[in-house]
Amino acid sequence: MRRRLLLVPATLLGALALVFAFLHLVPGDPVEVMLGEFAMPADVASMRRGLGLDRPLPVQFVRFLAGLVTGDLGDSIAFRAPVTRVIAERYLATLELAAAALLLALLAGIPLGVLAALRHGSAADALIRGLSLLGVCVPSVWLGPLLILVFSIQLAWLPVSGRGSLAHLVLPATTLALGMAAILIRLTRASMLAVLRDAHLRTAVAKGASACRTVTHHALPSALPPVVTVVGLQAGALLAGAIVTETVFSWPGIGRLLVQAIAARDYPLVQGCVLVVAVTYILMNVTADLLVAWLDPRTREDA
């Protein structure tokens, strides 16, 4: 675990360096986007100097890192406001969406995976596996508009887009949760099937433990560590998936903000968004590692 924590700064630095390099390789000038193609050359040069874009790329990157140490991510070129403030206004919306999607995926994926393992080879098992395969194959970029067409336009049950009441959260959270739930179903089923063959379960049954107690107190805790690891990875991936989902549903989160920042060539804002996503992803994975170590003490020495 200590070794993984020591790798966190290097991972963040590498992510920021790659994004910084790729952004400046993409054709387009943010100053020309802001001032228009008919702007006077003197005005363009003046704004470039004011934003520090006339300096060499290594100098710009070092300035960004120096500001990062003091908590200053710079000013957004498009929004004309501090990057930290712009991101803070959107970050809570993304966390709300990701948390709702994670909750839905856990509530659907783990119980259905356990049920499929307990009914191995039955019609229920085949149905659950079929549904999970469908969930893995359906992309969110297609599922989102389909849900809008059915539940918002035809049935008029839920709002089309935006953020406000709980009803606004249902469709985007469901869109995000479907793929993750499908993965959890298949993983939980496979993990449970492996655990159910262990000798200690047969011993528990031989000692008179009920079927319910055998599953909840013996089989499920032993099957959870690999599931928790994948949940940590998938929870971080929800932030990446939220970019598409937030765009489809006009959800005012950090994913949609990142798309807007890229379109505007807003270098400071893109770097700030990537930093926040990377930190959140790493924290979720570290949390998952801690949970796995708590569930399975054998992994603590390896961590």
**CATH label of the domain that carries residue 225:** 1.10.3720.10
Q: Is the pLDDT of residue 35 over 70?
A: no
Q: pLDDT > 70: what percent of the chain?
A: 79
pTM of the model as a whole: 0.75
Crossing angle, helix 167-196 and helix 140-147, to 10 degrees?
A: 130
- For residue 176, tell me if it sits in a domain: yes
**Helix or strand or coil: residue 75?**
strand
For residues 271-281, average pLDDT: 81
Q: How confident is the model at residue 212 (pLDDT cuts 50, 70, 90)?
A: low
- For residue 46, tell me if it sits in a domain: no
For residues 232-238, average pLDDT: 74
Q: How confident is the model at residue 127 (pLDDT cuts 50, 70, 90)?
A: very high
* Spatial separation of the C-alpha atoms in residues 8 and 12, rounded to whole Å: 6
Q: What's the number of domains the chain is made of?
A: 1
67-114 confidence digits (pLDDT tens): 777 777 777 877 888 888 888 888 888 888 888 988 998 898 888 988
The pLDDT of residue 232 = 77
Q: Which residues pair with 82 in a beta bridge?
A: 75
The pLDDT of residue 290 = 75
Q: How confident is the model at residue 27 (pLDDT cuts 50, 70, 90)?
A: low
Q: Is the pLDDT of residue 209 over 60?
A: no
Higher pLDDT, 200 or 260: 260
CA dist 190 to 100, 129, 193, 202, 293, Å? Answer: 25, 11, 5, 18, 21
- For residue 165, tell me if it sits in a domain: yes
The pLDDT of residue 115 = 87
For 130-186, the DSSP string reads HHHHHHHHS-HHHHHHHHIIIIIIIS--S-SS-SSSTHHHHHHHHHHHHHHHHHHHH
149-193 confidence digits (pLDDT tens): 888 888 888 888 878 788 888 899 898 888 888 888 988 888 888
Q: Is the pLDDT of residue 205 over 60?
A: no
Q: Is the pLDDT of residue 272 over 70?
A: yes
For residues 30-38, average pLDDT: 65
Higher pLDDT, 267 or 148: 148
For residues 59-64, average pLDDT: 79
Tell me the HSE value of 172 on the side-chain side, using a 13 A CA sphere: 36
Q: pLDDT > 90: what percent of the chain?
A: 1
**Helix or strand or coil: residue 56?**
coil
- For residue 19, tell me if it sits in a domain: no
- For residue 129, tell me if it sits in a domain: yes
- What is the domain range of residue 165? 90-299
For residue 87, give the nearest of 249, 236, 276 by alpha carbon.
276
- For residue 191, tell me if it sits in a domain: yes
Higher pLDDT, 179 or 300: 179
The pLDDT of residue 4 = 65
Q: What is the mean pLDDT of the chain?
A: 78
- For residue 97, tell me if it sits in a domain: yes
Q: Is the pLDDT of residue 236 over 80?
A: no
